[in-house]
Structure 1
Amino acid sequence: MASTAAADAVRLRSVRRSYGTLDALGGVDLTVRPGTFTAVMGPSGSGKSTLLHCAAGLDRPTSGTVEVGGTALTGLSERRLTLLRRDRIGFVFQSFNLVPSLTAAQNVALPLRLAGRRPSRTEVRASLARVGLADRADHRPTELSGGQQQRVALARALITRPAVLFGDEPTGALDTATSQEVLVMLRELVDREGQTIVMVTHDPVAAAYADRVVFLVDGHIADDLTGLSVERIAAWTTAARPSAARANTAIRDRAEAASC
């Protein structure tokens, strides 16, 4: 089912995700425009990864609607949802999730092969070239640095030309210098190629590369700001921690009371 808001890359309306009596998301509204870079931040347990997984079709919300590129995910069969994720959505994890026995080129080609396509050598090398690794096509993951492995994971996510690239702490396992290299690359994908990126991160430095920072607390959007410096992002997250800690304590107390 196509949406009238086809210009939106991602659109969430009243999205709630519950696990038993606990709400990981409490009715979130979020719109992401094409060709933008959005960072999602919040304290531990705020619902960041849950939001990302619902938006990317990796998890189904308990209620509410999710659209990607004008297509409603709500109500899709598992098969149609799998096809949409394969063709329209890219996802990069903190752990690179590369197959160790395969070369960089073979890892990048994997999504197309799983879809029944036989990717050309030119197509695969072009995807590696987008992340600066055309000369590492025949190297296996153990022969690559952490930053290079994450760039292979990026090339793998990008080879299907997804409408949206989602990242769950994509620089979380990298050192500072390597993290910066990957973040610069993500920024260039947005600025030069118009790629839409939505990234969960706990790092104010990483979030500062984004056009916009969405702050979650206790499953709700607490703020949605643009043009933030590293210092302002860090100040916001520091201020959010005490209230988030109180909210998490209250949730634990309710869960313990319910189990008695």
Structure 2
Amino acid sequence: MRGRHTGGTVAGGGGGGNGADAIRLEAVRKVYGTGRAAVAALDGVTAVFPPGGFTAVMGPSGSGKSTFLHCAAGLDRPTEGRVLLGGVDLGQLSETALTTLRRDRVGFVFQAFNLMSALDVRDNITLPLRLAGRRPDGEWLTRIVSRVGLADRLGHRPAELSGGQQQRVAIARALVTRPAVVFADEPTGALDATTAHEVLGLLRGVVDGLGQTVVMVTHDPVAASYADRVLFLAGGRLVDELRAPTAEAISHRMRGLRGGAEPVGVARC
């Protein structure tokens, strides 16, 4: 049985450390277009993510999952409401300060691995630090390389790796700055079932073993079942959540969303 983290940061991890929520969304609304063409991709979403938890975000196509991730990660600014990362109100930051905060405090893992083909594994992992003009912490680098199982691949280039190994590089790269949160957007979408299982187990492991906070957008109930909880979006609203979810329970709830659902209150791990 997969372990479930109950919240709180494990010593040595990348989870918040100062007692603040890893992420907090307060009545977030995101509108695209104007006038009659305006569309509310998010419509008053409030959710809390304490440090050291694993949350999956699901919903039908067009439910607002991608917009949720973009606003929570500071990639897009909400039309209304607030997003706080480690207690910092992202709406109060300049674009330069926001870029710096994302680089230092947020990790990203995408369906496409987004590795630099000319760089070996070590240099791909440490690229965010090099861009920031910082030296890697040797002890931390060794720890995360060991955690993702790449100690014998550091000199290889992406073309010499399997898809699963490339995604492991992407996860290590996301962890190297000791971020407050790692956002994963369909991280297993390009992988076969066996490799996806390995990558999801790895994400589960960095939560349980390193105290990392992970927020994953996925369409796959099996992938979502690795999380501590699942948040469900429909029509830009938060409509339900499941704790200690199973793939069967998630699938059942997703089928129910096709018939419509009422919003719920604050989602809190």
State if a TM-score over 0.5 links the two structures. yes
Name the structure 2 match of 1:37: 54
Q: Residue 158 of structure 2 is aligned with which of 138, 141, 147?
A: 141
Question: How far did 1:30 drift?
Answer: 0.5
The one-letter amino acid of 1:127's match is I
Structure 1: 5+ residue runs without aligned partners?
Answer: 245-260
* Aligned counterparts, 1:1-12, within 5 A: 6-12=19-25
Name the structure 2 match of 1:201: 218
Question: How far did 1:188 drift?
Answer: 1.0
- What's the secondary structure of 1:136's corresponding residue? coil
- What's the secondary structure of 1:134's corresponding residue? coil
- For residues 158-213 of structure 1, the C-alpha deviation after alignment (integer angstroms, 9 at most, x for no partner) is 00000111111111111100000011111111111111110000000010010000
- What's the secondary structure of 1:210's corresponding residue? coil
Larger Rg: 1
* Structure 2 CA distance for aligned equivalents of residues 63 and 78 of structure 1: 18
Name the structure 2 match of 1:46: 63
- What's the secondary structure of 1:135's corresponding residue? coil
Count of residues in correspondence between the two structures: 240
* Structure 2 CA distance for aligned equivalents of residues 111 and 75 of structure 1: 24
* Aligned counterparts, 1:105-184, within 5 A: 105-119=122-136, 124-184=141-201
- What's the secondary structure of 1:150's corresponding residue? helix
Name the structure 2 match of 1:76: 93
Assess if the C-alpha contact under 8 Å between 1:24 and 1:46 holds in 2.
Answer: yes
> Aligned in 2, Cα 1:67/1:6: closer, same or farther, shift over 3 Å?
farther
Question: How far did 1:122 drift?
Answer: 6.0
Once the two structures are aligned, what percentage of the paired residues are identical? 62
1:61 aligns with 2:78: yes
Question: How far did 1:242 drift?
Answer: 4.7
* Structure 1 CA distance for aligned equivalents of residues 27 and 80 of structure 2: 7
Question: How far did 1:7 drift?
Answer: 2.5
* Structure 2 CA distance for aligned equivalents of residues 233 and 73 of structure 1: 31
The one-letter amino acid of 2:86's match is G
The one-letter amino acid of 1:197's match is V
> Aligned in 2, Cα 1:6/1:146: closer, same or farther, shift over 3 Å?
same
CA RMSD of aligned residues (A): 1.6
Normalised by the size of structure 1, how large is the TM-score?
0.88
Structure 2: 5+ residue runs without aligned partners?
Answer: 1-17, 262-269
The one-letter amino acid of 2:21's match is D
* Structure 2 CA distance for aligned equivalents of residues 90 and 172 of structure 1: 18
* Structure 2 CA distance for aligned equivalents of residues 146 and 241 of structure 1: 33
Name the structure 2 match of 1:222: 239
* Structure 2 CA distance for aligned equivalents of residues 109 and 192 of structure 1: 21
Normalised by the size of structure 2, how large is the TM-score?
0.86
> Aligned in 2, Cα 1:69/1:120: closer, same or farther, shift over 3 Å?
closer
1:232 aligns with 2:245: no
